[in-house]
Structure 1
Amino acid sequence: MQAAQMKLKVLLPYKVFIEQAQVMRITAVTSDGAFGIFPHRLDCVIALSAGILVFETQGADEVYIAVDEGILVKTGFDVLISVRNAIAGIALAELREAIEQKFIKLDEQEQKLRSVLVKIESGFIRRLVTFKQER
């Protein structure tokens, strides 16, 4: 009897990054640590952190993909992962460096951008309040 297998699809905002059938297991990173998924696991939705996604297919080695923050949805034997960015095809040690350099640096840039946006919004609100008071 053949063991149950999953179908994995990793989506980026602009394309399908990878689509793989016959997946035996998946390991993803959450804010609480690593999380394993097997074919008969209950359906779930998981928020992913930037890290290394690992999956294994029948008769093949493990595949490593560096992923940014995103979400994982498992329904039946289908696993859909949607992330902002992903990198594959390089050695495991280099993936760790890629995560630190690209994804974490991007988060720092986003924080700076959000800080600027908060200042702009608060300035707009102050001017709006002043305008209303003058009327």
Structure 2
Amino acid sequence: MHLKVLLPFQIFADKPDVARIVAQTPHGSFGLLPNRLDCVTALSPGILSYAMANGEEFYLAVDEGLLVKIGAEVLVSVRNAIGGTDLGHLHETIQKDFLTLDAQEQSVRSVMSKLESNFIQRFAAFHHVQ
């Protein structure tokens, strides 16, 4: 298989001759072998591992995103990725950086929602007075 890991502004990894891929989805682990049918799945923040045809294994800490398999091409599109060989370190990175960022984004979205709601209420009151 040919694996490409895409970030918003760059190609993070471009690996030909990948023998297998294991990724985390909202419903659990998801494995890909070369003869698997084409598919699309959402990815959860977690570890994406892949093994090369020569047996070498690699690990990526990835943020949420999508995985698309079409024929021998596998595209992974995520917001953030970090490569490494120490699974403990990658797990800590996910806990510290990716999941904290999601909590911050939820907080910002909550504040924006309140601001938008307040604006709409004031606009409606202003329109009603006119």
* TM-score normalised by L of structure 2: 0.98
| Cα-to-partner distance string for 1:48-69 (whole Å, 9 max, x where unaligned) | 0000000000113210000000
SS of equivalent residue, structure 2 residue 100:
helix
CA distance in 1, matches of 2:66, 2:95: 19
SS of equivalent residue, structure 1 residue 114:
helix
| Cα-to-partner distance string for 1:84-103 (whole Å, 9 max, x where unaligned) | 00001351110000000000
CA distance in 2, matches of 1:31, 1:129: 40
Aligned residues: 130
SS of equivalent residue, structure 1 residue 93:
helix
Long gaps (5+) in structure 2: none
SS of equivalent residue, structure 1 residue 120:
helix
Further displaced range: 40-49 or 82-91 = 82-91
The root-mean-square deviation of aligned C-alpha atoms, in Å, is 0.8
1:86 aligned partner: 81
- Residues 6-85 of structure 1 mapped to structure 2, 5 A cutoff: 6-85=1-80
1:3 aligned partner: none
Q: Quick one: percent identity of the two aligned structures? A: 52
* TM-score normalised by L of structure 1: 0.94
CA distance in 1, matches of 2:14, 2:87: 20
SS of equivalent residue, structure 2 residue 30:
strand
